[in-house]
Amino acid sequence: MDIAFGLPPDAAGNTGVVVFVDRLSKMAHLAAVPDTIDGEGTASLFLDRVSRQHGLPEAVVSDRDPRFTGKFWTSIFAVLGTRLDMSTADHPQTDGQTERVNRVVEDVLRSICAETPKRWSAMLPLVEFALNNAVDASTGYTPFYVNGLSHPRIPRTPPRPGSGLSGGEEFAERLADISPLAVRKQVDTFLSTRLSVLSHVRDAMAESQDEQKEHADAKGRSNVNCYEVGDLVLLNAMNLPTHAVSAVFKTKLRPRFIGPFKVVAEKGLARTLTRPG
């Protein structure tokens, strides 16, 4: 499990997302949280969102966030009989599967926030559903199937980008039967918005798996990228100060890359870029 902060405040003042991921099935559960949430609040979410559906786990893996190392959190799980395993700075991969889910969630929420900054939390249930209905590379199955040996029923024909629900004959025919026109447009917009989230998560999952494969294939090799003066490049924002990236996104949820910037000079392996702005 993990908590990622840095989102624009929604209507309820939430600025973060708590992510729970099952080690076996890879099933994920998400919840919007304020930055003031403490160990008791996180424990309540765990019991309400996870244990309510799956029972108590044998162990919970997390980082050493004060919420997860505090007396309340450690005491309640000691009473419940659940072991607490903490990842460390030397071995952050201990909770690697949650980090992978975080990357997909962050990518999708960046897109949602770019259009409707205060409505990202309303889309979380759809993001969760899409995550659990996407095939996981490590298992070869969707979390839904591993957990319950069945797949949920979903629309068979996804919408085409920019065309509402006109992505298939079936949708078009059903929409055409709705009257008056105002209601038809309202239904079209309502479903298109939600189905586009499902499509976005599916694409983000596929991209994440492609990146994992690329990194695995490139392991042990030197950097094969070669940039010359005049090239346009994206800059990894991981080690940049927040003010140099964006006023909208902070900490974990800020863009991973900024730019493009033009390469204006080169010296060995180093490159000089044009200054932002």
pLDDT tens figures, 180-199? 888 888 888 888 777 777 77
Asked whether the predicted pLDDT for residue 150 surpasses 50, the reply is yes
**pLDDT for the residue numbered 143:** 93
**pLDDT for the residue numbered 88:** 59
Asked whether the predicted pLDDT for residue 216 surpasses 70, the reply is no
Query: What backbone phi and psi angles, to 5 degrees, belong to 59?
Result: -150, 150
What single DSSP character describes residue 93?
A: G
The model's pLDDT over 41-94, given as tens digits with 9 standing for 90+, comes to 999 999 999 999 999 999 999 988 999 999 999 999 999 999 999 875 544 444
Q: Is the domain covering 2-148 a CATH 1.20.120.420 domain?
A: no
* pLDDT category of residue 203 using cuts at 50, 70 and 90: confident
Phi-psi region of 5 (alpha: psi -120 to 50; beta: other; left: phi over 0): beta
Look at strands 59-62 and 83-86 and give their pairing.
parallel
Asked whether the predicted pLDDT for residue 214 surpasses 60, the reply is no
The model's pLDDT over 2-44, given as tens digits with 9 standing for 90+, comes to 998 888 999 999 999 999 999 889 999 999 999 999 999 999 9
**Which residues on neighbouring strands pair with residue 57, listed in sequence order?**
none
Angle at 242 between CA 239 and CA 244, to 5 degrees: 85
Helix (H) or strand (E) holding 80: helix 71-80
**pLDDT for the residue numbered 180:** 86
**pLDDT for the residue numbered 209:** 63
* pLDDT category of residue 241 using cuts at 50, 70 and 90: low
Query: What backbone phi and psi angles, to 5 degrees, belong to 31?
Result: -150, 135
Do 26 and 100 form a contact (C-beta atoms < 8 A)?
Answer: no
